[in-house]
Amino acid sequence: MVAVVFFYIFAIFLVISAVMVISARNPVYAVFFLILAFFNATGLFILLGAEFLAMLLLMVYVGAVMVLFLFVVMMIDIDLKEMSRGFLQYAPIGSLVGIIILAEIIMVVGGFTYDASLITTTAVPIPDVAEISNLEAFGLLLYGEYVFFIELAGIILLVALIGAIILTLKTTNKAHRQDISVQVARNTETAIEMVSVKSGQAFSKNDTIKMNKKG
């Protein structure tokens, strides 16, 4: 009875916080509501007996990702008027996509069936080897049966990371590039220049540019 009450509490707050994430006009408030949603999802995982997933969600997403998002949003000066300027232009397409997604959700929920006896039974990770821990069962399932999908997801993320770096890389003449062959071939004659500086005399701008080119 207590578990059912806590389930409904976490589920209701999870849905409310998820709605507030997309409806909050202030991006900082949206990040805070997303953190609240992750906390409620952690509670649901604990009630389901998946304590490893709960701690993973709490430490990785709340402890690292969301804190990073919060600092990024707070440091970036977001112009809400500029962002909402083209809202009416894309409203018809967005409404069409939203209606399609809503229809798909209704079709999935309407055609979903479940066995009523599953509610009263306790779920175990692997019924045949129920004596192992939850974390070990998760590892066997993830890196055993679904190892191909894990490797495929890793390759996709690697390609996406390389693509993001290529798209954001700006090549300018002001950037200092490494030339490995030139660096390896340097010696004391080409790397060091002895300059006689008189007392009270500073380096000029041209001398500094010459030393930078040699270095």
Domains annotated on the chain, with CATH = 1-78 (1.20.120.1200)
Nearest Cα residue to 52 out of 133, 118, 164:
133
pLDDT at 203: 57
Between CA 60 and CA 184 the distance in angstroms is 42
Q: Within the chain, how many helices (H) and strands (E) appear?
A: 12, 0
- Cα–Cα distance measured from residue 163 to residue 168, given in angstroms and rounded to the nearest whole number: 9
- pTM recorded for the entire structure: 0.51
| CA 23 – CA 17 distance, rounded (Å) | 10
Could you list the pLDDT tens digit for every one of the 215 residues in the chain? 788 888 889 999 999 999 998 888 777 788 888 888 989 999 998 888 878 888 888 888 888 777 777 777 777 766 666 666 666 777 788 889 889 988 888 888 777 666 666 556 555 445 455 567 777 777 888 888 888 998 999 999 999 989 888 887 766 666 667 778 877 888 877 777 777 777 766 655 555 545 545 44
Dump the DSSP string for 40-103: HHHHHHHHTT-HHHHHHIIIIIIIIIHHHHHHHHHHS---HHHHTTTHHHHHHHHHHHHHHHHH
